[in-house]
Amino acid sequence: MINHKVNLVEGTFTPQESLDIINALIKEKINFHKLHRLSIAEGNLYEDTSYDDDRVAQLNEERQSYREFYKEIKQSGKKLRIKGTIEIEVLD
């Protein structure tokens, strides 16, 4: 059951604006995982940080994939609609 929603992004954007938005969101998530990894490993270099390592790699792949999409759309002169809602659930 969804307990709360956050409407993070909604609107129509130029290709450049969309690139800026997506890059900013991905950059923040990468920074979150890097800081989380650092806090986990602080004092224990052998702590498992594989989840954060994997997420950083996945996010970098997503950023590259979006850049390729952006290049195709930029030439078309079309605008893009972005909808980004975060759904939050309370777990037992």
Distances (CA, A) of 75 to 15, 30, 67, 68, 92: 9, 29, 13, 12, 48
Residue type at position 82: I
Instruction: Quote the pTM value.
Output: 0.85
Q: DSSP class of residue 47? A: S
Task: Give the pLDDT confidence score for residue 47 in this predicted structure.
Answer: 86
Per-residue tens of pLDDT for the chain, all 92 residues: 889 999 999 999 999 999 999 999 999 999 999 999 999 888 787 889 999 999 999 999 999 999 999 999 999 989 999 999 999 999 98
Q: With contact defined as beta carbons under 8 Å apart, do 67 and 22 qualify?
A: no
What is the reported pLDDT for 42? 85
Please give the pLDDT value at position 1: 86
